[in-house]
Amino acid sequence: MFGFLFSPYGRISRKTYWLNFLLPYIAITIVATILDFAIFEINPETGEPPPVFQGILALIALWPSIATTTKRLHDRGMTGWWQAAQAAVIVALATAAYWYYTAKVAGAPIALPTEIADQEPSLLADAVLIMGGAIIAWLFLYPLINALFLRGQAGPNKYGDDPLGHPSDTFK
């Protein structure tokens, strides 16, 4: 189990990923959330308690999450570095959200780039925003869909042997 959770090398099947990592992680997250609500006072501003147990779980599960998802991507013939694209998207969106809410709290006027200096909205600016959003969505969703839902490559690949075995071995 230690190698499964902490080694990013090799391949694992969808079934192994879902049953041995994702479903237990979801169950533990639910328990951590319940503990946060049961033990800590609810903040009246947010309506939620501080996510102490959820935060501890996130820190503990960070590397196992990276390692198991890397092996899942390896099963698809992809490098685990695709997760860096997801992280970049999350950081970019968090930065944009921080900038937006900081400006909003400070009372600064918030406008889309096409609304600055009383410019007329342009089709080009709208197209750039839509394309940027589509690229961001693709960078986030492509590795996620590959890891969670798509079948791995049949037979061995550069990351290791097929975790489901070789089709020729199945019928011997």
pLDDT score of 165: 85
Mean pLDDT, each 10-residue run in order, the chain (172 residues): 92 96 96 97 94 96 96 96 92 88 77 56 75 89 93 94 73 46
pLDDT score of 119: 58
Mean pLDDT value across the chain: 88
Phi, psi for residue 48 in degrees, rounded to 5: -135, 155
Q: Residues of the chain with pLDDT > 90: what percent?
A: 65
Q: Can you say whether residue 156 is alpha, beta or left, with left for phi > 0 and alpha for psi between -120 and 50 degrees?
A: beta
